[in-house]
Amino acid sequence: MSIDVNNESGTEVDEQAILGAARYALTRMRIHPLSELSVIVVDSAAMEQLHMQWMDLPGPTDVMSFPMDELRPPVKDDEEPPQGLLGDVVLCPEVAKTQGEEAPTRHSMDEELQLLTVHGVLHLLGYDHEEPDEKAEMFGLQAAIVDGWRAEQGLTGPSPAPTVS
């Protein structure tokens, strides 16, 4: 799997953990191993600009996803996953830091960025949380992936609670 992490934010982030969380999520979702993903970390001014341009909403947000080939996980276990360009996940560490501090299960900016990476990947794969049933499915899957990632890393304690809405 080709995953590029490009930190343009000026904030030090755990790029290896972002890469690992993305790789774990894509493997767990059975995405073709030759598919490509880009993760871009930006400052709040850049995120605010993207948020306004693409969502017509003011202020910075935590994560945005820009799908390319609209790849979807295989439905059947024996189905071969398609290969392609997943797209871009854009993260904002400044917003992630605030969300982690304000979450019911306080956690670090890097833990929040890992959660947001998984969230962004799921958006690229067609998951959404506009409707209650979609939200339950997406957030349940997100929690399972984050818990699996944390277990694989030997991390203990409660997983970060979803802070994205």
65 secondary structure, DSSP code: E
Beta-sheet strand order (sheet of 36-41): 2-7, 36-41, 85-91, 63-67
- Residue 67: its H or E element: strand 63-67
Q: With contact defined as beta carbons under 8 Å apart, do 161 and 103 qualify?
A: yes
Distance separating alpha carbons of residues 84 and 109, to the nearest angstrom = 30
Cβ atoms < 10 Å from Cβ of 29: 20
Which one-letter amino acid corresponds to residue 135? K
Do the annotations mark residue 119 as ligand-binding? yes
CA trace torsion 119, 164, 88, 71 (10° rounding): 40
Q: List the structure tokens of 13.
A: 């982030």
Residues belonging to the binding site for Zn(2+) are: 119, 123, 129
Binding-site residues from annotation:
119, 123, 129
